[in-house]
Amino acid sequence: DFATIDESHSPSKEYNWGYDPLNYNIPEGSYSTDPFRGEVRILEFKQMIKALKEAGIRVNMDVVYNHTYYTVNSNLNKLVPGYYYRQDCWGNFSNGSGCGNELATERSMVRKLIIDSVRYWAREYKIDGFRFDLMGLIDIPTINEIRMALNEIDTSIMMYGEGWTGGSSPLPDHLKSLKCNVRQLPGTGVFNDDLRDGLRGHVFHAGDPGFASGGPGREESVKFGIVGAGYHDQVDYQRVAYSKGPWAAEPAQSINYAEAHDNLTLWDKLQASCPGADEETLIAMHKLCGALVLTFQGIPFLHGGMEFLRTKYGDHNSYQSPDEVNWMDWERKYRYREVFEYYRGLIALRKAHPAFRMGTADEIRHHLRFLPTAPGLVAYMLRDHANGDPWETIVVIFNADSQERKVSLPGHDWVVVVDGHRAGSDMLRQFEGDIVSVPSRSALVLVDGASYRASYSC
């Protein structure tokens, strides 16, 4: 339930994403047909969830248990003054959220409030997953107890969040649910910002290019994402963007993404970091990012509309921006149909082939080997029917260079299933030889011919 939206105005001119929580256990009324009757928002929310599930769509909810909109005048502070919020050494409310306060999640009744709330949403509304805003402000024991509570309901319920804070906090670092502590959070994932900025450039410097836009020295950050943020002997961790070592115990703890609701969309970022580039070049870079994210080990994350080059017209913080900025421009789906089909083909490839979805870091270390490449290229091989895949050997190559480049292959008989224009599991063409040319700003996925033909003869 949002604090800054006046639900009595319909339609309301105010807009907010909802990072201004007032009440945790009730849907926001401005989305309902009648905000004055509490049962209406509850019923309509449940009807929405039911309809989405009937369409085969699981529903994850973004939850903000790190702070509330009000502090001194919040319901929690009125109930037990000073208990629910952290204070600094001078007795002032601490502001690790950047929003004026932070909940003292390590205190028993605050922890119980959060666990009970998450359990309520999962049981009553059948929510399938929870994305925790600024999860670094929530202590590790609380996150783990939430995980255990959800496991009692349904072990398939997802938990993931932002493994960072919005400012300094009196909660000691070793107790924070930070990215660097995720090994202590079994069953919980974090957003891989090392990978994000490796792909597209620094998130707070619009003009900074990433690997896909020709930025130099980003290859190891890309390789870090490919292996799911775990340990791999062929990754030089000292050259990874931020984390100078592996942090994920298992690949499912790495949420791989190039774009989310915060900051510039990928399309806007590419335009800002590549001034003067024509649309064809920008589209090639965008598709390269999509191919990267959707072939990495771990959990791929796509921002809605990314598949048709979503733009917010350069707005990097649109939490209060109008519909004209935040809405889905469906005309772009038709205008950029080729990009949409490319993303759909990549998703189909990933779903059909478990080699791209290995479940353990040990499997990745055994089956995934990087191939020698020059700067601006990254290539790897998935070998020995990885994760039970019908394809014995898969080679994936990313060329971010502005020129066509050649890469040596471990064999001579190949079938191409992904190139810079089309993607999927079907053969695009056959290739014979141990050196392949990869066009500029494109991905290439090849399968050994023998196992490809065998998989289609069964």
- What are residue 445's DSSP bridge partners? 396, 418
- Write the DSSP symbol of residue 371: P
What strand order describes the sheet that includes 189-191? 60-63, 129-132, 158-161, 189-191, 254-256, 299-300
Residues 6+ apart with CB under 8 A from 304: 310, 328
* Burial classification of residue 277, based on how many CB atoms lie within 10 Å of its CB (0-12 exposed, 13-18 middle, 19 or more buried): middle
- Write the DSSP symbol of residue 174: G
Query: In the chain, what is the straight-line distance between the N-terminal and C-terminal CA atoms, in Å?
Result: 54
Return the biggest CA–CA distance within the chain. 73
Residues 6+ apart with CB under 8 A from 411: 393, 434, 448
Instruction: With CA atoms as reference, report the closest residue to 60 among 299, 341, 329, 342.
Output: 299
For 126, other C-beta atoms within 10 Å of its C-beta total 17
Distances (CA, A) of 9 to 12, 15, 22, 159, 405: 5, 12, 18, 34, 59
Active site residue ranges: 133, 162
